[in-house]
A and B are shown apart, each in its own frame.
Chain A
Amino acid sequence: MTFLHRYRRLAPYVLLGPGLAWLALFFVAPLGFLGHQSLQTQDPIALTYTFKWAWHNYSDALTTYHTQLLRSFEYAGLATLLALAISYPLAYWIAFRGGRWKNVLLLCIVGPFFVTYLIRTLAWETILADQGFVANLLRHLHVLGANGRLLATSTAVVAGITYNFLPFMALPLYVSLEQIDQRLIEAAEDLYASRTIAFLRVTLPLSLPGVFAGTLLTFIPASGDFINAQLLGTPNQTMIGNVIQSKFLELTDYPAAAALSFILMATILVLVGLYARALGTEKLTG
């Protein structure tokens, strides 16, 4: 590309310009506005907002909604662990036993997620319904009491979140498992490592980047989710996303909603940082 060669130093900026400008305008700037909004106060009568460095919005939001915040991270954490437990063996099986069917099997993982999110969640509502097959079976087996419910419980919400974010876990796991050089495992076995030891000392460490990426890609959207809590839960399962959503769109309490959004983001960043340190990202990316 001679025209680019001639202006080699400018070329990347020309290519980056439009896209980054879009992100600056509609991603970075809005976060600034959100921060600004979170420090405003609302006039209770005129319903107007004035900027006052109202840091108390944050402490107020935390005292009022710490239950929902903690619940969000609890549900998201549980769902992430469940998704990992379901996806790891599955990804392993496809990567090492899939043979020529690998792509079709991957399609079985990705496929369900092309059913619209909301419709998929409504399908779970049908499956877990009080008179549904699963609830009746569990009642019959006395796992569930006579009046026991599946729908409108924490279990339903966590199950819904697990299902809805599963491919975000399964795909990175598959990619990292698929890349493993089989000869390394063979070498371990040649050196008299048992299958278990070979897995623990070779396969598992090599798949950790996938575990890292997968858990983050599942945990982050899961902690901000409100659809599962709304459709599969009751007010007792309200997550922080539900609070933000209703404050923004129904109650128009913008400053509190903005403060909560920042608290959510900040908590996620701290958790991700701690997690990255615990797992040692230098080892993972380097």
Chain B
Amino acid sequence: MTIAAEPLAVRRRPLARAFGFVRRHALTAYALLAFVYLLVPVAVVVAFSFNSPKGRFNYTWQGFTLNNWIHWDAVPGIRSAIKISLEIAAISSICATVLGSLIALALVRYGFRGRGATNFLIFLPMSTPEIVLGASLLTLFLTMNIATGFLTIVIAHIMFNISYVVVTVKARLVGFDRHLEEAAMDLGANGWTTFWRVTLPLIAPGILAALLLTFALSVDDFVITNFNAGTTVTFPLFVWGAARAAVFPQINVIGTAIFAVAIITMLANIVFQNRRSRRTA
């Protein structure tokens, strides 16, 4: 493992070496088991999207079929639920990313009174149980006589997403070299040009990551949405309703599709980053 430790390893007794070997591989075996544990439920979701169930529930394997994929919108309500989820995710992730990136910019670039308090305020929603966030928003809407629905879900999603944006973009900004901006200014660029041509491209990966993360969080959210949805049905709410009456294999189809999109996006990101680091190295 390390150059310095090599001579020591050679001098070790055979028993100790065998023990080291076992221990080394025990860790690997443990890690592999942990991966199995992590991935088995995913495999179940994917496999049961190809199941052709008898009756209302999709719990036991009955046989392979592609029907669920071909007729993915055969269940009444699933199509509109997905559409609503995607719309809410798009609006809320864009709004939260704008609001959150501005906060991150202020926090990293400026010393100002109330910085500690701001950091604390950003941290609080992430450390409050979702059920409390959802319940308190519902209380606000009830007191103010605001009917819950599409708009209130968007408001709620922007609220819980802002903190995640701040954390993600801040992480990117901390490693940011201020001298690059100063150099641009020295070379005669004005404030706007510097911002658009230097600052923004440098923090763009952080902003993109925040956008994707908040989109995913929004599509997945159940607890807060459940409190503030009124009669609007998002995809997780649809699944919840279905879980009580009948579980359709179509639910697994959509679950698999969302999973596939997320994985492909992240793999593309890894490949892209690897290429870039190889080019700069």
Q: How distant is B110 from chain A, measured CB to nearest CB, in Å?
A: 4
**B129:A221 contact, CB within 8 angstroms:** yes
Kindly supply a per-residue 1/0 record for chain A positions 1-40, scoring 1 wherever the CB is within 8 Å of any chain B CB and 0 otherwise: 1111100110111011011101100111111011011000
Find chain A residues with CB under 8 A from B219 CB: 116
Using A23-B162, A34-B139, A111-B266 as known contacts, say yes or no to A16 and B103 having CB atoms under 8 A apart.
yes
Interface residues of B in 38-85 (CB under 8 A from A): 38-42, 44-45, 48, 58-60
**B2:A112 contact, CB within 8 angstroms:** no
**A127:B5 contact, CB within 8 angstroms:** no
Binds B, one of A59-67, A84-92, A139-147, A201-209: A84-92
Find chain A residues with CB under 8 A from B220 CB: 114, 116-117
Q: How distant is A240 from chain B, measured CB to nearest CB, in Å?
A: 9
B267 at the binding interface (Cβ < 8 Å): yes
B21 at the binding interface (Cβ < 8 Å): no
B255 at the binding interface (Cβ < 8 Å): yes
A227 at the binding interface (Cβ < 8 Å): yes
Name the residue in B38, B138, B190, B199 with the highest tally of chain A Cβ atoms < 10 Å from its Cβ.
Answer: B38
Name the residue in B136, B138, B219 with the highest tally of chain A Cβ atoms < 10 Å from its Cβ.
Answer: B136
B22 at the binding interface (Cβ < 8 Å): no
Q: How distant is B34 from chain A, measured CB to nearest CB, in Å?
A: 4
**B139:A22 contact, CB within 8 angstroms:** no
Size category of the A interface is: 35 or more
A216 at the binding interface (Cβ < 8 Å): yes
Q: How distant is A34 from chain B, measured CB to nearest CB, in Å?
A: 4
A5 to B192, CA, bound (A): 12
Closest to B41 in A: A123
A224 to B162, CA, bound (A): 21
A230 to B103, CA, bound (A): 38
A7 to B27, CA, bound (A): 56
Find chain B residues with CB under 8 A from A30 CB: 133, 136-137, 139-140
Find chain B residues with CB under 8 A from A112 CB: 38-39, 41-42, 259
**A223:B129 contact, CB within 8 angstroms:** yes
A2 to B191, CA, bound (A): 5
Chain B at the A interface: SS class:
helix
A258 to B136, CA, bound (A): 8
A12 to B235, CA, bound (A): 38
**B162:A22 contact, CB within 8 angstroms:** yes
Interface residues of B in 1-54 (CB under 8 A from A): 2, 4-5, 8, 20, 27-28, 30-31, 34-35, 37-42, 44-45, 48
Size category of the B interface is: 35 or more
A28 to B262, CA, bound (A): 32
Name the residue in B37, B129, B240, B259 with the highest tally of chain A Cβ atoms < 10 Å from its Cβ.
Answer: B129
B127 at the binding interface (Cβ < 8 Å): yes
Find chain A residues with CB under 8 A from B251 CB: 119, 122
Find chain A residues with CB under 8 A from B235 CB: 116
**B181:A1 contact, CB within 8 angstroms:** yes
Find chain A residues with CB under 8 A from B124 CB: 27
A107 to B35, CA, bound (A): 11
**B132:A16 contact, CB within 8 angstroms:** no
**A15:B106 contact, CB within 8 angstroms:** yes
Top 10 nearest A-B pairs (CB, nearest first) are A224-B129, A114-B262, A30-B136, A19-B99, A15-B106, A12-B110, A119-B255, A93-B31, A2-B191, A1-B191
Could you show 18 A-B contacts with beta carbons less than 8 Å apart? Answer: A23-B121, A92-B27, A114-B258, A115-B45, A116-B236, A118-B222, A119-B45, A119-B255, A120-B255, A129-B59, A189-B2, A231-B243, A241-B131, A248-B138, A261-B131, A264-B129, A264-B131, A268-B127
- Taking beta carbons and an 8 Å cutoff, which residues of A are in contact with B? 1-5, 8-9, 11-13, 15-16, 18-20, 22-23, 26-31, 33-34, 36-37, 86-87, 89-90, 92-94, 97, 103-104, 107-112, 114-120, 122-127, 129, 131-132, 163, 166, 182, 185-186, 189-190, 195, 216, 220-221, 223-227, 231, 241, 244-245, 248-249, 254, 257-258, 261, 264-265, 268, 272
- Taking beta carbons and an 8 Å cutoff, which residues of B are in contact with A? 2, 4-5, 8, 20, 27-28, 30-31, 34-35, 37-42, 44-45, 48, 58-60, 99-100, 102-103, 105-106, 109-110, 112, 118, 121-122, 124-125, 127-133, 135-140, 142-143, 155-156, 158-159, 162, 166, 181, 185, 190-192, 194-195, 199, 216, 219-220, 222-223, 226-227, 235-236, 239-240, 243, 247, 251-252, 254-256, 258-259, 262-263, 266-267, 270, 273-274
A sample of 19 more A-B contacts (CB under 8 A), given A19-B103, A131-B60, A224-B132, is A11-B110, A15-B106, A19-B100, A23-B162, A26-B140, A27-B125, A28-B121, A30-B136, A33-B140, A107-B267, A111-B263, A112-B42, A114-B259, A119-B251, A120-B255, A122-B239, A127-B41, A186-B4, A261-B136
